[in-house]
Structures are given as structure tokens and as C-alpha cells.
Amino acid sequence: MRRSRLRHLGLATLLVLGGLTATGTLPASAAGTTTGSADEQAASAGLLDAMQRDFGLTRAEAEDRLAAERRATDLAPTARRAAGDAFGGSWFDARRARLTVAVTSDASPTTVRAVAATGARVRTVEHSARQLDAAKNRIDRIDAPAGVSSWHVDPAANSVIVDVVRSERGDNDVRRFLERAREAGPVTVRTVTSAPSTFAAGTVGGDPYYTGNVRCSIGFSVHGGFVTAGHCGGAGAAVRGWDGSHVGTFQGSSFPGNDYAWVSVGSGWWTVPVVLGWGTVSDQLVRGSNEAPVGASICRSGSTTHWHCGTVLAKNETVNYSQGAVHQMTKTSVCAEGGDSGGSFISGDQAQGVTSGGWGNCASGGETWFQPVNEILNRYGLTLHTA
């Protein structure tokens, strides 16, 4: 591969390739992330333009929201520790531009004051996060019919949300699943327009990576390769680049159950800590992998639909694909289409995860799930390549 290709937008999802790293870069692992100075973390003009387009904000409102989300992300671990056993979950409230932390009604006044003292808004709820997680884990053990789309803990609703395809709501298997789910704990049923599917695609040209006759998108550079979606290829599968040349090999892959993989690279390809902006925004540097809270803005880069933004809707969601359930996914309002699988989800300059699947498209809208990047890094002992 010629280095000059990096200057061409057509590089697409080949954001990560080969083993070379830039002088002075600092790696971030799943256990530890990096942060830069305030100037380094300032949002690019392109990112602000995308926020204005996808959220209907003014430039000043976009800047204020990103700053508030950074504060909420930094505050969340401290607030959770303050809540202790009374912790009921947390989320970013975009209207108030604050982190909200739920605490159970039996929390002591001292605990409530301690949470409030962190700067978070406090809401009283019935069920703790531990109780809700236990209920979801029990539901995970129930075989789900195709008419059940997904389920996750919603801290704001203080319930496990089960999404059912609208046309399948009356199906007997769906009804039986919901009966058993309600026995597991507090459940709220919602309807969605269609079932989820993965976003892999056949070989159609453009700027992809290929494995067999499947086209997918690269997620994030790690030292020695890149991470992507597991359904894009099994361990040992060879990967070809945009120019048809050999890039590397899938070293680990898991799907269903999980949807993640990593590919080692060589043959002249090298890694760079960049997410492609596709001309919609400037290419985005990756500086770490701090996890954005529910309610935060998030953007996705992929080889088919390029750059789109939306909101984090839920975490630790189980998604029921036709191939089998995938656990611990994050749901977003960002659209995606075939070929976007494996691509980057990023919030500000912080890596979030790799695109798995969803429903809808970028013409009519929809929802998309990603597998969190820190889980992938921890699973394979990888180190994120950061700027």
C-alpha cells in the first residue's frame, strides 16, 4: 500500500493498517484511557457542523452540549461510588445538560446528599441497578422468538425494556416470552417497526475491507491491527484492502453471543489513530476510550453511509439477530446500512465501539447497536492506538 493513499478520501474504513505508529503517540488500553489538554479536546469545525445538522442545534449549542457531555462522562464513576448499593443507574439529561443519577427509595439521607454533592441530579427509584441487571440476566436465559427485537435495562424508566416487532406483538411465542420475562422482574414492553439485522454486505466496490465475498468497515486501530465486528469473518479468515491487496488475518472473532473481532495487519499496511470523516467532517483523531453515558451524542463512520450522528439510547442490551442473541450491546439512534458493519462509533475524541447491526436505513432513519470497544480490548489484550 502506498502512503499517499492516506491523503485520499477513498481510503474509507481503512483507518487502521499495519504495525507502524507515529512518533510520540501514547497508547490507551481498555483499563486506562488518555486525556489531552483542553485545546486538544476542542471539537473540530466539521464535528460541530455534523452536530448542528443531525441534532438541529446552533454552533454554540453544539459546543455547550459536548462540554456538558464531557463533564458528565468524568462525573459518572464518582457519582456511582457515592450512591453505593443504592445506585439505580445514570444517564445524561440533554435538556438539563447534566448527569442524572438514580438512587433507591431506601437510600439514607447521607447517601443522597453525597450523590448530590458530586454535582449530579438525583432521582429516587424503586429498583437498584443490581436488581435490574439481575432481571435482565434472567431474561437472557430465555430463548427469544424472532418477533422479540432486543431487551435492555433503562435506568430512567427503572425497568427492563423489551422491544417487540409491531407486526409480531400477537404471536403466541412472543406472548409466552413476555410472560416469562415479566416473571423475571420489572419489564416494560415497547414496539419497533422491524427486526434487527447485521450490516455486512456483498462485494460492491467503494472503499471497504473484504473477507470472502463480504464487505465490512474497520473500527479502530490497535497496536498490531484493528478491531471490527465478529460477523464479518471468522478466526483465520484473510482480509483484503480497498486495492485488493492482502491486509492481514482475523486473529480472534466471536459471533453470535458477542459481535467483535480483531485483525492483525502487515504487508505494508500500518495503523493510524484516525476515524475517517468522509468529507462530512474532518478526519477525527482518537485520544482514548472513555465511555459516554446514555443520552450523550455519538457519531459513526462506515464505508457505505459514511458519517452520521445520533444519541446513546441504552447500554447492556441483548439483541436478538436471526443468527442468535448478542449481549452487552449499546443502542443508538444513529442510522446505518449494509457494509457499515464493524465501523467506528466515536463520541468527541473517545472511541466507543464497533458497528454491529440494527434496523432501518439512512433515508428513513432507524436504530443501530455497537459492541463496546473496551470489552474488545480487554477480551483480546489489545491496546488502542491513540493520538
Active site residues: 231, 259, 341
What gap in Å lies between CA 257 and CA 236, rounded to an integer? 19
Q: CA torsion sign, 272 to 275 to 279 to 281?
A: negative
- List 162's β-bridge partners, or say none: 151, 189
Residue 40 C-alpha cell reads as: 486538544
* Residues written for the chain: 387
Residue with C-alpha cell 486495492? 243
Do residues 163 and 184 make contact, with C-beta atoms less than 8 angstroms apart? no
* Kind of pairing between the strands at 284-285 and 121-125: unpaired
SS3 176: helix
Do residues 267 and 277 make contact, with C-beta atoms less than 8 angstroms apart? no
Phi–psi pair at 159, nearest 5 degrees: -155, 165
- List 16's β-bridge partners, or say none: 271
What gap in Å lies between CA 217 and CA 210, rounded to an integer? 9
Alpha helices in 25-171 (DSSP H): 38-41, 45-55, 59-83, 109-117, 129-140
Q: Which DSSP category does 281 fall into?
A: B
Q: CA separation (Å) from 71 to 68, 97, 157, 234, 296?
A: 5, 9, 23, 39, 11
What gap in Å lies between CA 355 and CA 345, rounded to an integer? 7
Q: CA separation (Å) from 27 to 31, 35, 47, 349?
A: 11, 11, 23, 14
Distance from chain centroid for Cα 375: 11
Do residues 219 and 189 make contact, with C-beta atoms less than 8 angstroms apart? no
Residue with C-alpha cell 440533554? 94
Q: CA separation (Å) from 374 to 29, 229, 244, 370, 381?
A: 8, 14, 30, 12, 10
